[in-house]
Amino acid sequence: MQEKTISKILYVSGTVTMLAGLQFIAPTLFLQASGMQVGDVTGLFFARHWGLMAFVVGALIIYAVRQVQARRAILLAAAVEKLGLVIMVAINWAEPALQGLHIAALFDGACVVLYLIYLLAKLPPPPAQT
């Protein structure tokens, strides 16, 4: 994967990921726009926290565009976080309360695939045997 291509992928995926930060600012509004309902204090607390964490992960993905030396660690962490969401949504795909996460899971799944393609292509070659 060329540097120009991965940079574009990271800018787009980081920006989209950061949009979940809106959930930190306005959790009820954001959840309702996604077709989900959370009314109790605990649910809103965790929704806000998740929004903040997603914003930070997105910001790190964008940071990784220019900080090549940190890119591998950032993309590995982002892939693990995104894969976790994909797995949780997939396990609960038929749950009506989580229908609003289907698009996020599909987007995150695509990001995981792209990040892993990049990371696997950047693995150092195995040592030569003598």
Break the chain into its structural domains and give their ranges.
3-121
Count how many residues are written for the chain: 130
- Residue 128 CB-half CA count within 13 A: 1
pTM for this entry: 0.88
pLDDT for the residue numbered 40: 83
Residues of the chain with pLDDT under 50: none
Task: Give me the long-range contacts of 18-21 (CB less than 8 A, separation at least 24).
Answer: 18/54, 18/55, 18/58, 18/59, 18/62, 19/58, 20/50, 20/51, 20/54, 20/55, 20/58, 20/104, 21/51, 21/52, 21/54, 21/55, 21/58
Confidence at residue 63, expressed as pLDDT on a 0 to 100 scale: 98
